[in-house]
Chain A
Amino acid sequence: MALKLASIFFTMILVDNYVLAKFLGICPFLGVSKKLDSAVGMSLAVTFVMVMATAATWPIYMGILEPNGLAYLQTIVFILIIAILVQLLENFLKKFIPALYKALGVYLPLITTNCTILGVTILNLDNGYNFVESIVCAAGAGIGFLVAMVLFSGVRRKVEQAVVPKCFEGLPITLVAAAMTSLSFMGFGGIVTAIFGV
């Protein structure tokens, strides 16, 4: 059991990294990775919401949608739940944990429409994970997002200081750099299965 959870966790970070291998959540990946501290802030907020969203959507799917033959409604229902959840979370943090609200505040509303969140909740069900596995998978996906963001903000700093041909300046060179970072992650393919043997 523990071995399987560990395998899921590290697979999500290294092999099935949401940003670099599954190409979800590219907008914050390119938009918020300019500075390291905002990249970390955004990733922590994403991780937090991912786990919360999974904890909320899994029981609703298994308890309400699946038994009534409404599995096809999962996309719209999950979007609804995630939006409500993020708004609720914002209110809660504002009232009870102002420090965290200040740190995450700018990024929380952005996450409502972030495809990684919806992606993790749906893919969990597609993979047939149980509740605990889903939570671990969501946490791993969030940490994977953090790793990708932090690595890429470092790459971007280098890129920004480099002398770039005029036609590649700005977004084009950033996309090229993103592609190379993604390529490097392909090297992790199979590593987790080899270590944990699951």
Chain B
Amino acid sequence: MNPILMAIIVVTAIGLIGAVILVAASIFMYVPVDERVEKITGVLAGANCGACGCAGCADYAKSIVEDGNAINKCTPGGAKTAAAIGEIMGVEAGASVPMKAVVACSGTCGKTSKRYDFEGIQSCQAVKGLYGGDGMCKFGCLGYGDCTKACPFDAIHLVDGIAKVDREKCVGCGACAAACPNSVISIVPEHKRKPVVLCQNKDKGGDTRKACTAGCIGCMKCAKACPKEAITVENNLAHIDQDKCVGCQLCVKECPVGVIHVPAND
């Protein structure tokens, strides 16, 4: 037989037999998949950030359909995604407030200084293990960028020695908050007027002052100025209750060290 013809026949035959086997297999071994799972995976943000608490977008879609998980947990997608999922599942979407990461530290290079020179592995985790960090303040941002490495959206960077959140890019997934060994970062509901205390220092006022000129000294001025009693000072550190706060910003004007800011306006 003509060798070219022979070659064509053999390859075609193998291909055809393979095709028949595959078609038979896909019919015989068909696994029913709820089509809603695929639809929901399609409308999710697709970033696999894990903010919903599941192992990824596909996993979250599966848990919505099969385990009745809440539909408004996709922070990157926000209200739009929740509404789209609600449409697929046929339920009303709950309110979904955009969440953003807030770095509660104001200790930029000019405000605080280093206690020692650190030359080990360049990570916050490592420097934290050596006498609680190389900064004068043991509570603040360590400044080695573990959060930058953890962020799947490239939304947090080191600026002037401390982490700064890019509020446009941040979706509030909380990966940076989990990576920060000093727990400086928290995920706060986005609000245009409500301020946050950008400091974590729980030392007494005098000690805080020596470590950092931008630290909360626990002077109570903000607590007295607040008309809604939303501010409490505990362990020499002011805290603003976001539920009670009405956004009058009297505390921002009153703070002598300027540590109270509205993150959305920074």
Residues of B within 8 A of A81 (CB): 14, 18
Closest Cβ–Cβ distance, residue A41 to chain B (whole Å): 14
Interface stretch among A29-37, A90-98, A146-154? A90-98
Q: How far is the CA of A112 from the CA of B3 in the complex (A)?
A: 29
Interface stretch among A9-17, A72-80, A119-127, A128-136? A72-80
Q: How far is the CA of A163 from the CA of B145 in the complex (A)?
A: 14
Residue among A64, A83, A87, A94 making CB contact with B10, cutoff 8 Å: A64
Interface string of B27-69 (1 = CB under 8 A from A): 0011100000000000000000000000000000000000000
Which residue of chain B has the shortest Cβ distance to A87 in the bound complex?
Answer: B22
Closest Cβ–Cβ distance, residue B242 to chain A (whole Å): 37
Among A59-108, those with CB < 8 Å from B are 60, 64-65, 68-70, 73, 76-77, 80-81, 83-84, 87-88, 91-92, 94-96
Residue among B14, B29, B123 making CB contact with A91, cutoff 8 Å: B29
User: Given contacts A73-B11, A94-B29, A95-B31, are A84 and B21 in contact (CB under 8 A)?
Assistant: yes
Residues of A within 8 A of B15 (CB): 80
Closest Cβ–Cβ distance, residue A88 to chain B (whole Å): 6
Q: B95 an interface residue at 8 Å Cβ cutoff?
A: no
Interface string of B121-155 (1 = CB under 8 A from A): 11100000000000000000000000000000000
A69 touches B3 (CB 8 A): yes
Q: A184 an interface residue at 8 Å Cβ cutoff?
A: no
Which residue of chain B has the shortest Cβ distance to A69 in the bound complex?
Answer: B3
A84 touches B18 (CB 8 A): yes
Closest Cβ–Cβ distance, residue B88 to chain A (whole Å): 24
Residue among B10, B29, B121 making CB contact with A73, cutoff 8 Å: B10
B29 touches A65 (CB 8 A): no
Among A170-192, those with CB < 8 Å from B are none
User: Given contacts A69-B3, A95-B29, A163-B122, are A88 and B11 in contact (CB under 8 A)?
Assistant: no
Q: Using CB atoms and an 8 Å cutoff, list the residues of chain A in contact with chain B.
A: 60, 64-65, 68-70, 73, 76-77, 80-81, 83-84, 87-88, 91-92, 94-96, 161-163
Query: 30 A-B residue contacts at CB 8 Å?
Result: A64-B10, A65-B10, A68-B6, A70-B6, A70-B10, A73-B7, A73-B11, A76-B11, A77-B10, A77-B11, A80-B11, A80-B14, A80-B15, A80-B18, A81-B18, A84-B18, A84-B21, A84-B22, A88-B21, A88-B22, A88-B25, A91-B25, A91-B29, A94-B29, A94-B31, A95-B30, A95-B31, A161-B121, A161-B123, A162-B121
